[in-house]
Each structure stands twice: as C-alpha cells, then as structure tokens.
C-alpha cells in the first residue's frame, strides 16, 4: 500500500503525496482495523518512522485518537452521506473518509482543506475512488455535528440510550451499563460520555519515601493532584522521558488507581501487618505504589501475575522495593506453596475486566469489547476474588478493584464471590480510607470513582475484612 502510494506520488519510496500527519493517522487507524492493533502501541512507531514531532505529531495523534473515539457517529454520518452502508466501502477508502469526516466535524481544519487532503489520501490508498470520496465528504460538510445528530439520532425522549449512543459515539450496551451504574441518571451519563471523548490527563505517582509530590511537581512542571497524596498532574509531554520515571522515583499511574491501592494500605488491621499480596499485578502500577508503602512499613509484597511477560514488567516496576514477583495463577491459593491460605494481612485483587472505566485511554476499545466478554471475565473475577479471600488471614483485608463500573463486574461479582467462597467477610466502608471531603463517593460501603466527577478512571473499590 505504501509503495503504491509512493510510486503514484513520485516521491521517495514509502512516502505518499499526502501530508505526513494525515498519512500517519491513516496508517494508525488502518492498523487498528486491519490488524487489530492498539492505537497507543502502533502510533509512536508510525510517528517516529515518518519523522513527525511537535505540532505535526500532535495533529496526527489527534486525528488518530479522535477518529477512533468518534467512529460510531462518523460511520452513521458517512453511511447517510454515501447512501450505502459504510461497511460496504473498501476498507482503505473507508478509513480515509473517517479521518476526513472527523476533520470536518470535530476540528477547525477548513472544509476545503479537509476535503482535498482526504481526496489526496484516497488517491494514495484506494484506487479510483477519488470522485466518490469527494462527493461523500462534500455531503458531510453540508451539516455541522449537531445537525447530523438531529437528523440521524432517535429522539432523547423516545430512546435515550439510542440517542446518547449516536450523539456521543459509544455502543448502546455501554451507554446502558453506564446509565445503570449511575442510578439511571441520563444527565450524568451524558457528562460521562462527553468526558470519555476527551484526551485523558497524564498522572504521575510520586513514590512515597522516594520523592515528595510537591518537589516532583516542580521538577516536571506539573501540579500536585487533587485527591491522591502521591499524584502529580502533568501538563503534557512524554512522561517516559522524565528523569524521575527513569530512575524509579515515580511512575505513570491514573490518580484513581493510586487512590484504591492506597486505600488498601490505609485501612486499619489489628495484629501483624507485614505480609501483603497483589494477586493480579501486571504490569505493576499498583505493586509499585504498594511496594513503596511496604518499604516504609517493614512489610513485604508478594506480586502474582499469570502472564510471563507481564510478570517481567512487574519485576521491572518494583525493582529496589520489598516485592517478590510470582509468575503463577492467582487462583492457586492453597495449592501453590508460596500462596498459603489464611496467610496475608492485606490482599489486592485488581481483577481483569472489560476496562470500560478507562475508555479515554484506549480509543478503539469501546468498539472491540462485546457484552459476550462479560461471562468469562466475571467468572475469572469471582474465582480470583474467592482466592484472595482464602489468602487473607482472619482479620485481614481484601480490596477488590476493577477499572470498570459495569455492575455485573462490580457489585454482582463481589456479592457472588463472597457468597460462593464460604469465607466469612464484612464490608469495610471504603469511603473512610479515601481523602476526607472527596465529593461524589455515594452511600458506601463500596466506592465508584468517575472521570466526570473525579477526573480519574472509573475505578471500583470494595473493601472486605475476613472475620
């Protein structure tokens, strides 16, 4: 594809005639759809390969992420404008049109530039479709986004889920799940959907005992966080290049993730408190924070991760901290000698989940996830939580965490796992171990954080004490 483009443009091999940021965005979006790639993994290499940095890289990134986030709405509009189902358009042309429609409806790129650059792109990637692309995009340009939504979405009164799904580009089942977790409040659901379409902030965790968050904020030109005592908000830039991250004083971690890990460490336990367990540790964000806290309190963290490459990431993320990494299945509590029953004082079960609480960070994931994913995931969640409960000693604490607010993965899993495990537990009110005065934490005893309320990922936390 790239060679064809290069030949046609008469330019250097592999470099198409279209401007490089748009071509880079096209390559990323096409890789996501063609190869099931993840945008955040493929895009950096594409930008480097194309020699893009600064404003050009930012523009390519916005086109990529924006197009993927708004895909549902863009496809509905393109279907109407083309007079045929977008799924029947040749995939390269379809992806180019999506990027063009995104520019027309979501950016300040002048319409003529959005249309002509997309026609160039189509010339480079899709044989003979330039006239079609030109006509479709001219039709898209006849209305602004609000007018398209009015034309295509069902009315909010007759079908609120359908309306919000089209207006804010989320699958209907996800809108329904969010609305249920928000108690049926469609106004709040709308605010959440809007937030999901924004560029997420980057948060650092200033590792306790290793760097003071105010000093770190000064060092990196950021600001101390609103809620987590370890959070620093970054204004922009590449966090991986920061000295504090490179030398292990800090790591990149959403503030909500910091809060739930810290909550487990803060909740009081009677008796010994030296044996901590993270049963689902990869890639090691929460183990990094818990390991730093364990170092301050003479405790040791056992970090379990079933996937070998992720276990290696945990080892890297916890180097220098009192952490033992075990590459094994967390469900083997009671069978694996290093995971005895009734042994640990604090246990974190940060279970695999749909990730619906961090859609801001993974622009394509809302379209990939399916309701059918839930049954295998919730079974695994129940089994891991039951194992975590068995691992805790009487009087010990278990934190169950997901980065999903789907009630089937949160309340249903906790209730069912506790009931089926036969391990006697009491709920601890998780609000008591979150910052005093933090708004919007609900009635307890569990806590659900939200992007639109707290600026964090939608982390869920249940704290259970083994009786």
Interface ranges with ligand SAM (CB under 6 A): 257, 280-286, 304-307, 310, 329-331, 350, 352, 380, 384
End-to-end CA distance of the chain: 63
Which residues 6+ apart lie within 8 Å of 118 measured at CB?
A: 22, 96, 97, 99, 100, 103, 133, 137
Q: b/e for 436-466, b at 16 or more Cβ within 10 A?
A: eeeeebeeebbbbbbbbbbbbbbbbbbbbbb
320 labeled binding residue: no
Nearest residue to ligand SAM, by Cβ distance, number only: 282
Q: 232 in helix, strand or coil?
A: strand
Exposure of 298 by Cβ count < 10 A (0-12 exposed, 13-18 middle, 19+ buried)?
A: exposed
In whole angstroms, the minimum distance from the beta carbon of 331 to ligand SAM comes to 5
Distance between CA atoms of 248 and 130, rounded to whole angstroms?
51
DSSP state of 170: -
351 appears as a binding residue in the annotation: no
350 is in an annotated binding site: yes
For the CB of residue 225, give the shortest distance to ligand SAM in the complex, in Å: 17
Residue pair 264/300 in contact (Cβ under 8 Å)? The answer is no
Cα torsion 78, 80, 84, 89 to 10°: value is 0
Q: Which is nearer to ligand SAM, 235 or 376 (CB)?
A: 376
The nearest distance, CB 442 to ligand SAM, in angstroms, is 22
Q: Considering the candidates 265, 317, 403, 458, report the single residue annotated as catalytic.
A: 403
Instruction: Give me the sign of the Cα torsion angle 233, 235, 238, 244.
Output: negative
298 carries a ligand binding annotation? no
Cα–Cα distance between 226 and 322 in angstroms, integer? Answer: 28
Which of 195, 350 has the CB closer to ligand SAM? 350
255 annotated to bind ligand: no
Determine whether the annotation assigns residue 281 to a binding site: yes
For ligand SAM, which is the closer residue by CB, 20 or 312?
Answer: 312
Is 338 annotated to bind a ligand? Reply is no
Q: What's the gap between Cα 309 and its chain centre?
A: 20
Q: Cβ(400)–Cβ(448) under 8 Å?
A: no
Q: Nearer Cβ to ligand SAM, position 72 or 451?
A: 451
DSSP state, 186?
H
Q: How many other β-carbons are positioned within 10 Å of the β-carbon of residue 204? A: 28
| 271 annotated as a binding-site residue | no
Q: Which is nearer to ligand SAM, 64 or 257 (CB)?
A: 257
Minimum CB separation from ligand SAM for residue 88, in Å?
Answer: 37
Nearest to ligand SAM of 74, 398 (CB atom):
398
Q: How far is the CB of 177 from ligand SAM (least distance, A)?
A: 18
Comparison of 46 and 314: residue with beta carbon closer to ligand SAM: 314
Distance of CA 415 to the CA centre of its chain: 25
Gap between the Cα atoms of 353 and 131, Å rounded: 44
Q: Is 353 a catalytic residue?
A: no
Beta carbon of residue 280, minimum distance to ligand SAM (angstroms, whole number): 3
Residue 95 Cβ, how far from ligand SAM at the closest point, in Å? Answer: 30
H/E segment holding residue 206: strand 202-206
The answer to whether 222 is a known ligand-binding residue is no
Binding site for S-adenosyl-L-methionine, by residue number, is 280-286, 305, 329, 350
Binding site, by residue number, is 280-286, 305, 329, 350
Q: Which residues are marked as active site?
A: 403
């Amino acid at each position: 594809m790239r060679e064809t483009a290069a030949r046609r443009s008469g330019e250097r091999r592999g470099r198409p005639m279209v401007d490089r940021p748009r071509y880079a965005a096209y390559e990323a979006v096409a890789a996501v759809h063609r190869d099931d790639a993840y945008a955040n993994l493929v895009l950096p290499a594409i930008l480097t390969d194309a020699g893009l940095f600064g404003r050009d890289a930012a523009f390519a990134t916005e086109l990529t992420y924006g197009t993927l986030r708004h895909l549902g709405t863009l496809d509905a509009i393109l279907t109407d404008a083309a007079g045929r189902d977008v799924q029947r358009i040749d995939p390269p042309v379809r992806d180019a049109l999506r990027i063009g429609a995104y520019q027309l409806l979501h950016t300040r790129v002048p319409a003529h530039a959005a249309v002509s650059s997309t026609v160039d792109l189509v010339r480079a990637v899709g044989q003979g479709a330039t006239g079609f692309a030109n006509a479709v995009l001219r039709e898209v340009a006849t209305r602004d986004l609000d007018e398209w939504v009015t034309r295509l979405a069902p009315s909010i009164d007759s079908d609120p889920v359908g309306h919000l799904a089209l207006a804010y580009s989320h699958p209907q089942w996800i809108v329904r799940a969010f609305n249920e977790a928000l108690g049926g409040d469609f106004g709040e659901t709308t605010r959440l959907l809007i937030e999901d379409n924004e560029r997420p902030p980057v948060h650092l965790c200033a590792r306790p005992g290793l760097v003071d968050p105010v000093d770190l904020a000064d060092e990196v030109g950021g600001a101390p966080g609103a809620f987590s005592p370890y959070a620093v908000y970054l204004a922009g830039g590449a966090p991986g290049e920061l000295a504090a991250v490179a030398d292990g004083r800090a790591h990149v971690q959403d503030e909500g993730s910091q809060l739930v890990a810290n909550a487990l460490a803060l909740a009081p336990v009677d008796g010994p408190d030296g044996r901590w367990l993270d049963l689902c540790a990869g890639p090691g964000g929460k183990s990094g924070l818990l390991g730093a806290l364990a170092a301050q309190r003479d405790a040791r963290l056992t970090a379990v991760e079933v996937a070998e490459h992720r276990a290696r990431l945990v080892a890297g993320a916890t180097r220098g901290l009192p952490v033992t990494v075990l590459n094994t299945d967390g469900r083997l509590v009671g069978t694996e000698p290093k995971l005895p029953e009734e042994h640990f004082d604090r246990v974190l079960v940060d279970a695999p989940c749909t990730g619906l609480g961090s859609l801001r960070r993974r622009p394509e994931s809302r379209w990939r996830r399916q309701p059918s994913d839930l049954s295998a995931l919730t079974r695994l969640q129940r089994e891991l939580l039951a194992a975590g409960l068995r691992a805790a000693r009487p009087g010990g604490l278990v934190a169950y965490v997901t980065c999903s607010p789907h009630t089937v993965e949160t309340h249903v899993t906790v209730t069912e796992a506790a009931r089926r495990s036969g391990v006697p537990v009491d709920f601890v009110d998780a609000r008591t171990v979150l910052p005093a005065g933090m708004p919007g934490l609900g009635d307890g005893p569990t806590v659900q954080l939200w992007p639109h309320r707290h600026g964090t990922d939608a982390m869920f936390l249940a704290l259970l004490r083994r009786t």
